[in-house]
Amino acid sequence: MTVLSLCFLLCADLLQVAVGYLTVTIEPLLPVVVGDTVTLKCNFKTDGRLREIVWYRVTDGGTIKQKIFTYDAMFNTNYSHMEDYRRREDLVYQSTVRLPEVRISDNGPYECHVGIYDRATREKVVLASGNVFLTVMSPPNNISVVAENTPAPFSRYQAQNLTLVCTAKGGKPAPSVYFKRDGELIEVISNVSPTVGYEGGGPAGVRGARPLISRDLDDTKLRKSLSLLGSDGRPGRLNTESPGRSYMARQPGQEPSPATETIPETVVNREFPRWVQSTDPLYYFSNTQIPQSDGSVLVQAKLTWTLNPQLDNDALFSCEITHPALSMPMQTEVILAAPKGPKLMITPTRAKVGDTVRITVQGFQVGSPVNEVFPEPLFTWTRVGGRLLDGSTERDGKELVLERVPAELNGSMYRCTAQNPLGSTDTHIRLIVFESMMKNTQNPNNGAPGLHKLGLICLPLILTVTVELT
């Protein structure tokens, strides 16, 4: 070893003794849940004299550092005689910062900066820092299931796709979403389409990706019996649609061909069409994740299939989500149900000419209240044998309002049709309008001439009786 090398090593050792050393480390953290209390621990080792400790919360990708804690040793008498600067001694310190009830906004990196005095000058400060990332999880706080594009009418002649939308809010990270039918996990086909944010396929039970098939265009499912076709080839009107109107007799030469299935009139189910025959429908699944401004992720999972009213009526569908911050799955469920006849109430109960009459849906005749019919039903009002009071043929909504009813509406019949993709049903109610009693009210003085005439009639009778007794 040369003399120059020895001199260099000696100078480096003297410089280290003069300047001192400082190492800073922060203990790693496990993911925490919103509402927990977190303690950040900063360990540092030095042989110098402590100057300060500063904690920062780093935001905006490191461009902004927010000071959350400061310790200044200059004003702390406990550290004024911490060590003799001329004597080399290793000291280990720990600085802790407690964050009570953390929120999603507390998620991110934190830094611990430690400063010591330069052993040579006693004025210059030597700095060192460490960092740690705090991961804050938040369980979903809301989950709901709705039917897409509802309320919608019932179709007897055309297949309909039903889509259930499960929405989970407040989760961080995004939860995993599953659909079940009658308690069994549904095997789904991942359906990828452009959405806001980013998408993920279904979790367990996912088949390979295939294009969504619209059974509305499947000729094999839309084959109709000749018994349901009119002479022009269009579907005939059913008896349930026009009470009192029967089918037209089949004309000669209109017998079905051997290739056409002949269905007796007594077997045709007029409420649930014949084209719905699939007992193993294909379920298509899509999952959209939308980041929110508060740091959480809104998840919308959709389940789409071709509806079979005969099989799907009264079926239980549930949406289940799992999340690292949940000890057990979170779920919500709906029961598919067709409406069973709206229950109507008319106010006032004794309507008079000129009153405003309201006919309101109060529930259903069979089963349960409105909110237990799913999907949401569509209510349509019509007047049997004529137009509504405002001149329209029909009106949608849960309430029909008739303003200033005239006497001509007395005895008129109104029909309320409740329908959803699972079925349709009607309820009729008759409007009774009472005429005002003021028209028949007479002046009491008008009764005097009547009494006078009665006296003139009674007088001859009395005279007659008297003569006979004589």
Question: How far is the C-alpha of 425 from the C-alpha of 240, rounded, in Å?
Answer: 9
In a domain, 382, yes or no: yes
Nearest in space to 48 (alpha carbons), one of 94, 83, 95, 93? 83
Question: How far is the C-alpha of 406 from the C-alpha of 402, rounded, in Å?
Answer: 10
Query: What would the pLDDT profile of 13-40 be if each residue is shown by its tens digit?
Result: 444 444 557 899 999 999 999 999 999 9
CB 281 within 8 A of CB 308: yes
Question: How far is the C-alpha of 42 from the C-alpha of 97, rounded, in Å?
Answer: 9
Q: From the CB of residue 412, how many other CB atoms can be counted at a distance below 10 Å?
A: 19
Rounded to two decimals, the pTM is 0.67
Query: Is pLDDT at 88 greater than 60 in this prediction?
Result: no
Last residue of a domain, one of 86, 114, 137: 137
Contacts by 455-463, CB closer than 8 A, 24 or more apart: none
Comparing 110 with 191, which gets the higher pLDDT? 110
In a domain, 469, yes or no: no
Q: pLDDT class for 2, splitting at 50, 70, 90?
A: low
Question: How far is the C-alpha of 394 from the C-alpha of 378, rounded, in Å?
Answer: 13
In a domain, 167, yes or no: no
CA distances from 23 to 20, 55, 56, 161, 300 (A): 11, 16, 18, 65, 48
Nearest in space to 196 (alpha carbons), one of 285, 284, 288? 288
Nearest in space to 177 (alpha carbons), one of 301, 295, 12? 301
Query: What would the pLDDT profile of 440-468 be if each residue is shown by its tens digit?
Result: 444 444 444 444 444 444 333 333 333 33
Structural domains counted in the chain: 2
Last residue of a domain, one of 137, 153, 182: 137
Considering the chain, what is the average pLDDT of its residues? 74
CB 136 within 8 A of CB 34: yes
In a domain, 391, yes or no: yes
Q: From the CB of residue 466, how many other CB atoms can be counted at a distance below 10 Å?
A: 9
Query: What CATH number is given to the structural domain containing 403?
Result: 2.60.40.10
Cite the beta strand spans of 60-118 per DSSP E. Answer: 64-72, 91-99, 108-117
Comparing 210 with 158, which gets the higher pLDDT? 158
**Amino acid letter, residue 128:** A
In a domain, 316, yes or no: no
Last residue of a domain, one of 104, 137, 170: 137
DSSP assigned state of 312? H
Domain span at residue 420? 342-431
Nearest in space to 100 (alpha carbons), one of 37, 41, 40? 37
In a domain, 274, yes or no: no
In a domain, 130, yes or no: yes
